[in-house]
């Protein structure tokens, strides 16, 4: 194998109850869909001699690369508010970790690689749709400047997976700062596994928050990263869709591109996920749910503290700061979108209210604001013109706006079209879309166009 990955596996050195060692289950006829050479380069992996056939066998799990130590990680979590004591990687395997030339450590994980001890009734597989969706979304988010897991490779398995119908199977290779989640802490806390919780905390601090002096400090720093992350999502009209505690990465990256979507027409109540009947994870609820998730993280850290009732008071005081921290991050995000040096909450809220009332396209409205055609987004153009006059009196910085407001985002109807084509073995729309959405600040009329009525996709499904 010409591909050499210098694995340096620290999670595999943690106690056995943190995971289940498990090889990938081979697939019938692996065929490469995409390999991210730029990401490989950033990770210090020289992929220049990697053939498509070799990439396919490695990143389907058919050949375990030298130095990998595949394992399924244990975790728990609150899903839609309900407690699940045992989740874990049911269709994913951590191959191992690499240390990039810049010194940063990254997980390399296969997703869709077969059953594990955590699979329960699941088949451990993924179909092509969620694999391509995650590839497009995560690479677009990275290009948009949002902390996120990345996509290193996508491979067809040559096997069908049975969902509502039989669909082509695929494996995604994703990289992450780590896959430690709020749910990983909850796993040990809920079992009363004090030693495991302490080991996980020490490991997490060393790996991600080396300046944190202990659990309270860790809580504050994790909270700040969630605040910053969710403010970025809001500024892009991104709806995660499944903000369960097992999908909250402690390192502060966006993880789990299941039923997520970018909003086309702006409305704060927008929700796509078919299973989110109550709109728990609707666009405007995301900050509140991030706060709730951080409260669960705080709860899981309490057993580490010698005086638990004092710890509860201390942690409560910390998490009560979430709304103010979030408000500051939100104002900074939307002030930048409007090119304002000083935040003006009324100006932001008044624009969003007009956008919601008229169903203005979220991305295109902000991209067009400096231009005359912005008013085309509105039905009540007089109201918009009045708002724009107010806004212009602030002398907005158009250069800052151009760096902040993308021209294009990975729109849901385009992702669905790319997936439908790929089902018929036409990967051209996927590759064209990937090239476009990884250059999000470049004007691109094709990908800027919102869906027509007959193209609109209103429902998304969890990525299984």
Q: CB nearer to ligand AMP: give 118 or 391.
A: 118
Q: How far apart are CA 174 and CA 135, in angstroms?
A: 8
Which one of 107, 134, 253, 256 is in contact with ligand AMP (CB under 6 A)?
A: 256
- Residue 124 binds ligand AMP (CB under 6 A): yes
217 lies in the binding site for ligand AMP (CB under 6 A): no
Tokens describing residue 73 = 């990680």
d(CA 186, CA 192): 10
Kindly report the backbone phi and psi dihedral angles of residue 246, in degrees, each rounded to the nearest multiple of 5, phi listed first. Answer: -75, -10
Which residue, 124 or 440, is less far from ligand AMP as judged by CB?
Answer: 124
Contact present, 258 and 463 (Cβ < 8 Å):
yes
Query: Are the beta carbons of 280 and 81 closer than 8 angstroms?
Result: yes
Q: Which is nearer to ligand AMP, 118 or 430 (CB)?
A: 118
Report the distance separating Cα 232 and Cα 254, nearest Å. Answer: 10
Of 186 and 364, CB closest to Mg ion = 186
The span from the CA of 394 to the CA of 401, in Å, is 13
Residue 254 CA to residue 99 CA, distance in Å, equals 20
The item of Mg ion, ligand AMP, none sharing an interface with residue 88, based on CB under 5 to 8 Å by kind, is ligand AMP
Nearer Cβ to Mg ion, position 62 or 149? 149
Query: How many other C-beta atoms can be found within 10 angstroms of the C-beta atom of residue 104?
Result: 12
Among 25, 64, 119, 343, the residue binding ligand AMP under the rule CB under 6 A is 119
Distance (Å, whole) CA 161 – CA 168: 6
Where does this chain touch Mg ion (CB under 5 A) — which range of 72-80, 195-203, 247-255, 371-379?
A: 247-255
E runs forming strands in 311-408: none
Q: How far is the CB of 303 from Mg ion (least distance, A)?
A: 24
User: What would the DSSP string read from start to end of 387-410?
Assistant: HHHHHHTT---HHHHHHHS-S---
Least Å distance between CB 260 and ligand AMP? 11
CB of 357 to ligand AMP, least distance (A): 34
- DSSP states along 300-333: HHGGGSSSHHHHHHHHHHHHTTHHHHHHHHHHHH
247 lines the binding site for Mg ion (CB under 5 A): yes
Say if residues 150 and 137 touch (Cβ distance below 8 Å): no
Residue 318 C-beta: closest distance to Mg ion, Å: 26
Minimum gap (Å) between residue 399 Cβ and Mg ion = 38
Q: Is 125 a binder of ligand AMP (CB under 6 A)? A: yes
Contact 61, 94 (CB under 8 A): no
Could you tell me where the DSSP H helices lie in 30-144? 37-42, 52-58, 128-143
Phi first, then psi: give them for residue 71, nearest 5 degrees: -155, 150
Using rule CB under 5 A, residue 134 touches Mg ion? no
Q: How far is the CB of 115 from ligand AMP (least distance, A)?
A: 7
237, 283 contact by CB (below 8 A): yes
**Catalytic (active site) residue 246:** yes
Minimum Å distance from CB 31 to ligand AMP?
Answer: 21
Q: Which of 89, 107, 246, 276 is catalytic?
A: 246
| Contacting residue, 90, 117, 158, 268, with ligand AMP by CB under 6 A | 90
Q: Which stretch binds Mg ion (CB under 5 A): 216-224, 246-254, 264-272, 309-317?
A: 246-254
Pick the closer one to Mg ion by CB: 88 or 168: 88
DSSP class of 90? S
Q: Is there binding between residue 91 and ligand AMP (CB under 6 A)?
A: yes
**Segment contacting ligand AMP (CB under 6 A): 27-35, 89-97, 199-207, 212-220?**
89-97
Does 25 sit near ligand AMP (CB under 6 A)? no
Question: Smaller CB distance to ligand AMP: residue 19 or 366?
Answer: 19
Q: Say whether residue 22 binds Mg ion (CB under 5 A).
A: no
With CB under 6 A as the contact rule, the residue among 109, 173, 204, 247 that binds ligand AMP is: 247
Whose Cβ is closer to Mg ion: residue 50's or residue 249's? 249
* The token pair that represents 277 in the structure block: 């009947």
Percentage helix, strand, coil for the chain under 3-state DSSP, each rounded to 5: 45, 15, 40
Judge residue 407's burial from the number of C-beta atoms within 10 Å of its C-beta, 0-12 exposed, 13-18 middle, 19 or more buried.
buried
Residues forming the active site: 246
- Residues of the shown chain interacting with Mg ion in the complex, contacts defined by CB under 5 A: 247, 256
Which residue ranges make up the site for ligand AMP (CB under 6 A)?
87-91, 118-119, 122-125, 242, 246-247, 256, 258, 462-464
């Amino acid at each position: 194998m010409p591909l050499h990955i210098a694995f340096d596996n620290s999670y595999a050195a943690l106690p056995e109850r943190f995971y289940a060692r498990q090889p990938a289950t081979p697939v019938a006829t692996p065929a490469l869909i995409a390999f991210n050479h730029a990401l490989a380069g950033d990770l210090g992996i020289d992929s220049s001699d990697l053939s498509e056939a070799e990439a396919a066998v490695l990143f389907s799990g058919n050949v375990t690369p030298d130095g990998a130590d595949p394992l399924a990680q244990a975790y728990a979590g609150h899903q839609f508010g309900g407690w699940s004591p045992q989740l874990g990687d049911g269709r994913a395997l951590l191959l191992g970790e690499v240390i990039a030339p810049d010194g940063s450590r990254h997980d390399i994980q296969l997703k869709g690689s077969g059953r594990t001890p955590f699979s329960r009734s699941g088949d451990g597989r993924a179909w092509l749709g969620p694999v391509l969706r995650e590839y497009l979304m995560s690479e677009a988010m990275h290009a948009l400047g949002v902390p996120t897991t990345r996509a290193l490779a996508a491979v067809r398995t040559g096997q069908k997976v049975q969902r509502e119908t039989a669909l082509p199977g695929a494996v995604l290779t994703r990289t992450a700062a780590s896959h430690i989640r709020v749910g990983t802490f909850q796993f040990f806390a809920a079992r009363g596994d004090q030693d495991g919780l302490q080991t996980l905390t020490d490991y997490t601090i060393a790996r991600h928050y080396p300046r944190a002096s202990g659990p309270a400090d860790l809580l504050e720093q994790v909270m700040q990263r969630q605040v910053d992350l969710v403010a970025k999502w809001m500024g892009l009209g991104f709806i995660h869709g499944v903000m369960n505690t097992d999908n909250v990465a402690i390192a502060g990256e966006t993880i789990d591109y299941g039923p997520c979507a970018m909003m086309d027409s702006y409305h704060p109540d927008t929700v796509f996920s078919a299973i989110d009947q109550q709109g728990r994870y609707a666009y405007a609820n995301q900050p509140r749910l991030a706060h709730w998730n951080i409260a669960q993280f705080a709860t899981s850290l309490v057993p580490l503290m010698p005086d638990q009732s004092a710890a509860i008071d201390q942690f409560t005081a910390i998490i009560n700061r979430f709304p103010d921290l979030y408000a500051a991050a939100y104002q900074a995000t939307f002030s930048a979108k409007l090119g304002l040096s000083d935040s003006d909450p009324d100006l932001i809220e008044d624009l969003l209210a007009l956008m919601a009332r008229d169903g203005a396209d979220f991305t295109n409205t902000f991209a067009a604001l400096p231009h005359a055609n912005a008013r085309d987004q509105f039905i009540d153009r007089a109201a918009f013109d009045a708002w724009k006059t107010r806004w212009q009196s602030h002398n907005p910085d158009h250069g800052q706006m151009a760096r902040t407001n993308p021209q294009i985002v990975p729109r849901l109807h385009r992702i669905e079209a790319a997936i439908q084509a790929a089902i018929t073995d036409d990967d051209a729309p996927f590759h064209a879309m990937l090239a476009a959405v990884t250059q999000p600040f470049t004007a691109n009329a094709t990908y800027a166009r919102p869906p027509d009525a007959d193209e609109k996709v209103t429902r998304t499904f969890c990525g299984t």
